[in-house]
Amino acid sequence: MTATGTSGSATTDRRSRSLLVSAAVLVIATVVLVVVFGIQRPPGLATLADEPAGGPTAAVAWMAWDRGEGCVRVAEPSGAVTTPWCSQSGGEVVRFDGEELVVRTWETGERMRTIDLDDGRSTGWLPAQRDPAPDPVTDAVWAERHDGTLIVHEVGSDRVLWRAEAHERYTIDSSARSPDRTWISMVDSAGRLLVVPADGSAPPRVWADDVPAWPAPVWEDATAG
Amino acid sequence: MRDTTTTLLHDWHAAGLVSADQVDAIERFERGRTGGPAPRRTVVAEAIGYVGAALALGAIALLVGEFWSQFTDLARLVLVLVLTLALFASGTALRRATRPPLQRLASVLYAGTVAGVAWATGIVVGDMVGRRDVEVGITIGVASTAAALPIYLVHRRALSQLVLLVAVLGTALATLSLPDQPPDTVWYSLTAAAIGAAWFLLGTGGWLSPRRVAETAGAVLAVLACQVTGGDDWALLLLGAAVAVALVLLAIRSDALHLLAVGAVGLFLVVPRLVFAWFGDAIGAPATMLVIGLLLVLLAVGLGRARREIGDDPATSPPPPPSASTGEVAR
């Protein structure tokens, strides 16, 4: 009787341990699978902050949501990214206006607020009808894929701007041409803001991270004024 | 109205397994140990208590919410920490209570403790340190798991186990979102399914108790993960169907109703999507109805066979009635 009981207990222990090991193996195998096959990295690129030489001469701005607030982000030609203004009501960057930025907000109905780019101070209000909602920015590039290679063309000329080995889910979500038409900004599916010469003379550089694809970042008109 | 134990005892007595004296002795023992079955009045009072507490907490939340935006981060953190500590202290005070309503209350208080830890972590990492949303999510997951695990180890109840599962799952899914380009949703499903399967195995192996809760929660997670975020990926749907079939077979083999319920519901969720994924709209609706009908028939036949086999098994058949004169009752 004792022997039977001992044997039964040993069987139970073995079964428990084997299921514990099975659970551990299952979890480890899943982690390995996810790390090896699931996590797909975007193509490696230099950053504009590390290599600013020969970069754009104008800034871009966009609105990003961060922890329940809409924050204006401005990427400077140097590669630095600043956050001059945030609001819980959020909004949309409309255009640069000299040293100020015009932002459409819905704080008290739809209104236009002007923001000082240096200190984020609100400098005034504009009637909404003076700046009707801008038309969606027309994409400046289109992309195709051949055997694991992403090929990015300029819209219109079909000039190849960039070729990169990339996994199948990697793509360019939105793009915009600078007002002087010498630069093209692109937001890729990894949420990176890339900038590339419109003549395709150099590969893209990473300007900023965590950038929403829509609406596309707005260029500063460096030729104005 | 007789409770389950009383019903079983009288059935066993009718089958000759135990004597009337033994039935009385066991009933006396159980009444002394648990205070007897909970009267309906007590259960209703407990339910009303929870509803009242939920209303009161909701009112407090509304009042605090009005001033929440005026509080500094530090004030918010202190408020949440005080609330969390109060919940933890109350849960610990009730942990050794023997009455089931108080044990359930302790579980609820401990669950609130883990939620409070998650909230406080969110304030520190998100509002005070200002990390990215995904990093906030991971930190909240890790902190919640770190709080839920010791609570579960000292309070092995169903709710504590489920809170631990949610914390582990949240941590894993948040970690998947850490790369610049998060993986395809299929990988989220696969990760959740693997956690569900591991939870099921740990429950079956006796490492997680209550065992039935672990098995049910793990099985539900594994099956749902394959079909909720799997989209039209037929491989994942096929995996979900395989898991559901395995659960049904296991349920029939071990006469486990909880696994049968999860497996059957899982089949009815996954199979139609699988049929649509394979055959499209051409034969979609009729084929789906046919498959579901056949599954129902197979399920019924399987259940009937299982019951018959259990009934035919000499090991599970009641022995002949004991002889009162010889006193050969199982003692």
Q: Write down the pTM of the prediction.
A: 0.71
Q: A205 CA to chain B: closest CA distance, Å?
A: 16
Backbone angles phi, psi at B3, to 5 degrees: -85, 180
Determine how many CB atoms are found less than 10 A away from the CB of residue B250.
17
CB contact under 8 A, A23 and B205: yes
- For residue B88, pLDDT beyond 80: yes
- For residue B142, pLDDT beyond 80: yes
Beta carbons of A203 and A186 less than 8 angstroms apart: no
Q: What is the pLDDT of residue A134?
A: 59
Query: Which of A75-84, A163-172, B28-37 has the least mean pLDDT?
Result: B28-37
Average pLDDT, integer, range B119-124: 94
Structure confidence by residue, pLDDT tens digits, A55-98: 898 999 999 887 678 889 999 988 889 888 888 887 888 888 88
Who has greater pLDDT, A61 or A136? A61
Query: Which of A137-141, B199-203, B256-260 has the least mean pLDDT?
Result: A137-141
Q: What is the pLDDT of residue B180?
A: 72
Beta carbons of A69 and A208 less than 8 angstroms apart: no
A16 touches chain B (CB under 8 A): yes
Residues 6+ apart with CB under 8 A from B8: none
B116: three-class secondary structure by DSSP: helix
Beta carbons of B159 and B107 less than 8 angstroms apart: yes
Structure confidence by residue, pLDDT tens digits, A6-51: 444 444 444 578 899 999 999 999 999 988 888 878 888 999 988 8
Residues 6+ apart with CB under 8 A from A95: A101, A102, A131, A134, A218, A221
Q: Say how far apart CA B243 and CA B221 lie, in whole Å.
A: 11
Q: B3 CA to chain A: closest CA distance, Å?
A: 31
CB contact under 8 A, A192 and B180: yes
Confidence of residue B69 (pLDDT cuts 50, 70, 90): confident
Residues 6+ apart with CB under 8 A from A223: A179, A180
- On chain B, the residues whose CB falls within 8 A of the CB of A40 are 181, 183
- On chain B, the residues whose CB falls within 8 A of the CB of A210 are 132
Beta carbons of A213 and A67 less than 8 angstroms apart: no
Query: Which of A125-139, B49-63, B118-132, B225-239 has the least mean pLDDT?
Result: A125-139
- On chain B, the residues whose CB falls within 8 A of the CB of A67 are 126-127, 130, 133, 136
CB contact under 8 A, B176 and A33: no
Question: What ipTM, to 2 d.p.?
Answer: 0.71
CB contact under 8 A, A26 and B181: no
Quick one: which H or E segment has residue A153? strand A149-154
Give the percent of chain A with pLDDT over 90.
Answer: 23
Average pLDDT, integer, range A111-140: 75
B11 touches chain A (CB under 8 A): no
Q: B285 CA to chain A: closest CA distance, Å?
A: 32
Structure confidence by residue, pLDDT tens digits, B280-308: 766 666 767 777 778 777 777 766 665 55
Average pLDDT, chain A: 82
Residue with tokens 């991270």: A209
**Looking at chain A, which residue has its C-alpha nearest residue B199?**
A23
Q: What is the pLDDT of residue B219?
A: 96
Confidence of residue B327 (pLDDT cuts 50, 70, 90): very low
Q: What is the DSSP string of B50-95?
A: HHHHHHHHHHHHHHHHHHHTTS-HHHHHHHHHHHHHHHHHHHHHHT
B181 touches chain A (CB under 8 A): yes
Backbone angles phi, psi at B77, to 5 degrees: -65, -45
A217 touches chain B (CB under 8 A): no
CB contact under 8 A, A20 and B202: yes
Candidates B191, B199, B205; nearest CB to A16: B205
For β-strands A111-116 and A122-126, DSSP reports them as antiparallel
Residues 86-145 of A with CB under 8 A from B: none
Backbone angles phi, psi at B69, to 5 degrees: -70, -20
Alpha helices in chain B (DSSP H): 4-14, 20-34, 40-68, 73-94, 100-122, 133-154, 158-176, 185-204, 211-228, 234-254, 257-279, 284-312
- For residue B328, pLDDT beyond 60: no
User: Edge-to-edge, what's the strand order for the sheet holding A81-87?
Assistant: A81-87, A69-75, A60-66, A218-219
Structure confidence by residue, pLDDT tens digits, B158-198: 999 999 999 999 999 999 988 877 788 889 999 999 999 99
Candidates A19, A26, A192; nearest CB to B194: A26
Confidence of residue B9 (pLDDT cuts 50, 70, 90): confident
Who has greater pLDDT, B28 or B84? B84
Candidates A15, A17, A40; nearest CB to B183: A40
Beta carbons of A171 and A136 less than 8 angstroms apart: no
Q: In Å, what is the CA distance from B220 to each residue of A19, B152, B197, B230, B247? A: 19, 20, 9, 15, 10
